[in-house]
Each structure stands twice: as structure tokens, then as C-alpha cells.
Amino acid sequence: MNFNPVKLEILNNQLASIAEEMGQALMRSAFSANIKERRDFSCAIFDRNGNMLAQAAHIPVHLGSAPLSVKAIIAACDLGQEDHGIVNDPYCGGTHLPDITVVSPVMAPGQESPAFYVATRAHHADVGGAQPGSMPLVTTLAEEGFCIAPQRFTDDVLTQLQSASRTPNERRGDMLAQLAANRVGQKRLAEWLRERGFAQAEAETQALLDWSRRMMMDVLSRFPQTTVSAVDWLDGDGLGTVEIPICVKLSVLPEKIVVDFSESAHQVRGPLNAVRAITVSAVHYVFRCLAPPELPQNDGFMSLIDVVTIPGTIVDATFPAAVSAGNVETSQRIVDVLFAAVSKVYPDAAAAAACGSMNNVLVGGETATGHPYVYYETIGGGMGATRHCDGASAIQTHMTNTLNTPIEAFENLFPIRIERYEVRRGSGGAGLRRGGDGLIRSFRFLRDATITVIAERRQLGPPGCLGGKSGQPGVDKLEHSDGTTEILAGKAVRLVRSGSRLTIETPGGGGFGAPDRSP
């Protein structure tokens, strides 16, 4: 069936609005600051085969990986009307263990098998593991926390998750919030189905996938048929491996794009390994950025992009490798190196590297009343400049799209004081277009705590483009309660005493073009 663009645009917005409403329900009913304040979650709608039809404008790193989780659930579980599926296993379509995906079926009248699925993926602040926050410096997945293979959601699974977590009540509250959000999606999608009937709904959604594919074909038609390469490096895995290359070869063919990471480094001992789902997400994000804003965010446009990886590499880790930081750090470097390659074939997309790190800070300890807490946040940095404009300052870049926790809420919840939060002036790279500036954020710990910092671009700053200068690298400084000061490595775990202060200075973005003006 053919549908005109107006009808397809309406359909796209109907489905996206359902996903957005799911997100509002999740945010308002969640217990943790990470979900209700930072909004570290995504909601999406899928067809009966697990193809993504719409995603709310939430977290880009979930864009290409969420369908793999849904398909893993479909393969493992025959979900009925009252059932829900659950998974966080990175080797079954997940990203890292804190990201838990809940999948729920939507039945069409008169049918026994699901017609559609809705899903929420939320980052839980702690799912066990060697250090608070479940993003530890370890060598195996088992040390990172509680792993859930694709299965039905049951009270037993919830009990096991609570037992593994340092904050069991928070985990229960967040999981029930995900279920509530999925029920909102089920209700709205069922109403939509009753208006159309299953046959028409399926035809319309297939037309929507085809429309997205055609729009991406139009984008790719501007690329000359050629092959280009690019390489960038990760600082290190925190356990001794340094200067880890990520290599990409981009081939533009008549009907598709091939993105080949075969020459990237072998997987490493530390947790910087990315599973294939992360690499697919990063690739799809880059090409989504190249398309018009009205491109429907679904699996249609993804079908034109072949991602080639080799199992056992830094971009396609194999079990039992640790992977928690691959989701947050390696994904950013994949984006940087792919944009560098794309700019060689499509100059309008040329851009300097962005901050290149989510600048992860994880803190665990006890409140004054003896209750355990775990807090996780990412800190923004500078955006890379493009040929069209300066880079934005003090912003979450590329694969993350979370907010910050408001200081008032933060200090009310945790025994930590935020003493400094400001733009890191002058940290962006000089150029015809200047890179955006990073951020400075200082945490004063009012009680003993365990902290973990997972960050990148601490050795070399984000590179500029076409003569632009690099942004300043990040700096992580720990002022101990005894008056001594320590410059932390990009990946570090410390036990801090009451009165200590951690200051994170995030990287600025790279500049674009040779500088012709002073800072």
C-alpha cells in the first residue's frame, strides 16, 4: 500500500508521541535521580519482528542497540498479553549491565501472537559488581554486576536484582516504573490499533519504514562512490593497555554504505570493550545526523548501512570481556572517527572532534542515617566546530543526551556538596570556527565514599579539523582531606574521606579551519 507523505508524517508523529508519553511516565514514577532527574532512559515502539518503528528523542546510544534486545526477547520468550520480557546482557543486544531493557507485547484484536512491542531501556544506578555504580575497573563481565539473559520478567528476577544491588529499594522502584511506562505504551498502541485494524496498521508501518529508507537513499546519493579511511585512539583501558586504535574504512556503494572496523584493536583487559550493538548504534547515530530532521527514526534507514566488525576486537567484544565503559566511552570515539571519515567524502559534514567522553563519575557510600546510596552522572563538554558554526559549550555531546541533576536535588539526596559548576573558559580549540568549551564541576564529600571516574581525552585533546586546533584535554583532580592533591588518570577508583574534593575539568571541542581570530 502507498501512503502520501502527509499521512506518513502524521503516523510517524503518532508513534513517536506514544514513545514520548512512555518516557514521561517513566521519568515521573522513577525512584532514582539517574532516571527521574538525569533522564537516562529511552522508550521505543517495534513491529512484531522487532524492527524499530519509532523512538522518543532520548539517548542516541540506544538507537541501534535497542532492536537487538527486543529481537533477543522475541527469540527467547513467547510473550502473552500479561507478560513482559527483560534483558541487560550486553552479549544479547544490551549495552552494559546497568542498562536494563523491559519489553511488552501489544496484541491486535482476535490475534494470539503480538502485533507490536513497546520497550523501555533505563540506566540503573547500581546492579552490583565490584564497585558502586556497576562500572568498575575489572576484566570480566561477571565482576561488573548482575546479568539478566533474555527471559520473562518475574518476581524472582526482581528479587535477584534487588539482592545484587547496593540500593535494592531504588531498584525495585525503578523497575516498577519501567513496567508502568510500558503499560502506558501498550494502552496507547492498542487504542491506535483498534482505530485501524491490524492489516492496515501493519501496511502503514511498513510504508513508514520504506519512507525512511528512501529518505536515507536521497542523503547517500550525495556521496561520491569511493573508499576512505580514518583512525583515532582511546587513551587506555585503565589496566595498562594504552593508545588503543579504532580504525574505520568507509565504502560508498551504489545502493548502500559499508562501514568496516576490521582493523581496529583487539579487545582489551579493561572495561573499554564495546559489544557490536554499541558500534551499530554509533554508526546509525552518525548517519542519522546527516539526514534531515524529519527523517523517521526507525529501522528503515538503518537497512542501508552495513557495519562490519570482527569478533574479539574493541568494537565487537566477545564474552566474558568487561564492557561497561565501552557503552559510554568507546562509543564516543567510534563517532569521532566515523565523522572524520565521512568528512572526506561529504565536506558539508566536516566537523572537528567533540569532547569525546561522557566524563563518568560514580559515587557510593552511606548517608548520615546509615542508608546506602549510589550516584552516577555524566558531565558535558565542548562540541566540535563545523564549517557552519562554532561548537556549543558545556553540553552533552553525541552518544549521550542526558540532563544534569539540579544541584538543589543533588544536595538534598546525597551527602555531597557541589562547590563549583561553570564553563571551562578557553578550553575549546581555536579555529576559523572555535570549538565549544568544556565544564568544571567540583564535588565536596561530606562523608567517606568510594568514587570511580571513567573518562577519555585526558592524554590528547579532541583534534581539530582542516587546520583547526585541538581542544584542551580533560583533567581530574582529587584534593584529599589531608591536604594532598592527586591528578587522577582517566580511569580511577578511590576511597575518599570526608572533606575530600573531586574536580572534573572536561575537554573542549576541536576547532575548524585555520585560526584567524584571537581567543
pLDDT in tens, the chain (519 residues): 566 889 999 999 999 999 999 999 999 999 999 999 999 999 999 999 999 999 886 788 776 788 899 999 999 999 999 999 999 999 998 899 999 999 999 999 888 899 999 999 999 999 999 999 999 999 999 999 999 999 999 999 999 999 999 999 999 999 999 999 999 999 999 999 999 899 999 999 999 999 999 999 999 998 999 999 999 999 999 999 999 999 999 999 988 999 999 999 999 999 999 999 999 999 999 999 999 988 998 999 989 999 999 999 999 999 999 999 999 999 999 999 999 999 999 888 889 999 999 999 999 999 999 999 999 999 999 999 999 999 999 999 999 888 889 999 999 999 999 999 999 999 999 999 999 999 999 999 999 999 999 999 999 999 999 999 999 999 999 999 999 999 999 999 999 999 999 999 999 999 999 987 655
Per-residue pLDDT at 519: 52
Residues with Cβ within 8 Å of 481's Cβ and at least 6 positions away in sequence, in order, are 496, 497, 498, 499, 500
Give the DSSP H/E element, type plus range, for residue 245: strand 242-252
Give the distance from CA 444 to its chain's centroid.
27
Per the CB < 8 A criterion, the answer to whether 136 and 98 are in contact is: no
* pTM, full prediction: 0.95
Name the nearest CA neighbour of 260 among 269, 251, 268: 251
The confidence score (pLDDT) of residue 336 equals 96
Beta bridge partners of 246: 232
Q: Which residues are bridge partners to 232 per DSSP? A: 246
List the one residue out of 462, 495, 463, 459 whose CA is nearest residue 476: 459
Residue 20 burial (C-beta neighbours within 10 Å; 0-12, 13-18, 19+) = middle
- pLDDT in the model for residue 30: 96
Cis peptide before 320 (omega within 30 of 0): yes
CA 239 to chain centre: 23
